[in-house]
Amino acid sequence: MSQLLNSLLTEQRRGNLTLAVLSQLRTPQYGYSLVKRLEGSGITIEQSTLYPLLRRLEKKDLVTSSWDTSESRPRKYYVLSDYGEDIFQTLKEEWKKATNELFQLLEEENNEMD
């Protein structure tokens, strides 16, 4: 039971995580600062998920990366590209629409049960 629930939850979260990460990358972020920001909004993401995700986003040209070596230790910064910004806006609108629809659907079901 709990294993099934876990895999369903993972599936449900996967798409949302991408959106969450994209939303935080309008200003340059390095890995750990991104984790902190997401945690601040109550979103936990496993680091073993986040870093590979960032690489995939970079490979698809949604984000660009650069090493900052001016500080005491080098950090890899990621930031949304123009293309990534476009994609992010579209995804955001779609997500709002979809959650709205889903919300109403679940509300109706609630009312029927009453």
The site for other proteins (CB under 8 A) is made up of 30-33, 46-49, 51-53, 55, 60, 73-76
Residue-wise over 88-105: b if at least 16 C-beta within 10 A, else e? Answer: beeeeeeeeeeeeeeeee
- In the complex, the smallest distance separating the C-beta of residue 104 from other proteins, rounded to whole angstroms, is 28
Rounded Cα–Cα distance for residues 84 and 86 (Å)? 5
Nearer to other proteins, 23 or 33 (CB): 33
- In the complex, the smallest distance separating the C-beta of residue 76 from other proteins, rounded to whole angstroms, is 5
Chain centre distance of CA 42: 12
Nearer to other proteins, 15 or 52 (CB): 52
